[in-house]
Structure 1
């Protein structure tokens, strides 16, 4: 099979023919891969794909040319096709792929490559190395699938650093049971760099079995009693009653004063109004005392009940409860607290 030259190209400052390996410089492509289902691949299949790649390259459609050259190499992995893949990758400014293809071309071609062409390709390789970075990718868990610019490069731990084009690169790590991770990293030409990718488990950290829970006991919850609020309600009710009775006492006093000022006075009316005024006044004083007493007790109850700290009891001991019991007697009003 004859392979025609594509065109003349300049590599940096060095111009050279973009030789896509003539029949004189190459061996024929041989069948070593499978073609259509049920049919073995032939050198003609690889050759046809190669020739289509050459046509696409002449037309400036480097993406299609790359597909055809890779297809030809897949059907017949002949080292001469790597030369075309490297040249096409350079046109696509995919310097890392161009570098790897040309290095593989030199390695697989070995002594079959003439000295002049080897020297030329080695010069291109040296220039490409200035346009790529060598990045060591590490993950905190093994078995993570790594991709650079959405192109898979392997599964961790990777056996070697990843060669990537200089610039801003997208690095992704995916592993089942972990949140997907994407980082954008800037790398410079000829730079050697290490990038750590820490994946976060979706099920939380799983540490070694340490046996039973050794945490200290939880502090028991403080349960507040209703007595402070009952005291507040009684105080409010007593205050209202004191106001009402006080108002009635003031009214009876006014009636008593009016009865005294009437002429001629009625002794029975005067006595009745005086008794009523005195009764209401006494009642208002008692209710006022009750209101004041309950107000003090209510304040104390709130201070004690809501000012308590959690009891420092042993894990199996129950926290003591505080209770309040109101005491009402004919001569005093009180509140008993049990701690």
Structure 2
């Protein structure tokens, strides 16, 4: 009895210690380290750039490495999309089904996965329809379901169902819409791109500032002219009536208002002259109307999830 009493606590402590080690190792094993996550993020960004250029095979290589370091369902989702872009539909479907079954997959990605799987199923079953997209002006960059497919005009057979359409052209607002493609009737979209206009040059901004200052100067000159004229009348009246104290004050006031008015008019005329000159020079030396659109920045679809690149990538 005595031996068993001394042996029991030793056995219990050993078992507990072994369990704690097992639990601790279970918490560590399979969890990506900070360095793993950093490398996975770098590989992910490289994959995003490759995907954007239509280099799907290169993107697949980067994403497979990233997923081996950090098994995040969002990385796997983009791997599936890259498989689809590379026409590897079976692998794309398998990856997306795994993403769909993962409880850690963000809700926004789950919504996308459902539509993606339906589209892939239609492609595999040859459920195709004709889609044509025209834009005014033509030559806009076209993204279909987050994949670059060239420029407008566009015409091809795609899976039936809904397709996300994104048009981008330098100097124009981007256009996002949804094309619903049927099997029997061709679907045609005619999209109008609105010009963003052009940015003002530094000379134009300076000219408008000068014109504004000149306008204020003229207004100030007119406003102060009337008190100066009134003081002059008061001075003449006071001298005629022999009111020398009043005349002295009127002379002082008149001199002040006259100086302010003259200075304001001077600023006004100089400002207007400089502004008009700068504006004329800017308009004559600036780009022609045909090149004006190139001044405007490119319209880019911003992904709402943590500033990740567009084209459907998530992080």
Q: What TM-score comes out, normalization by structure 1 length?
A: 0.27
Which structure would you say has the larger RCO, counting Cα contacts within 8 Å and 6 or more residues apart?
A: 2
Q: In proportion to residue count, which structure has more helix?
A: 2
Q: In proportion to residue count, which structure has more strand?
A: 1
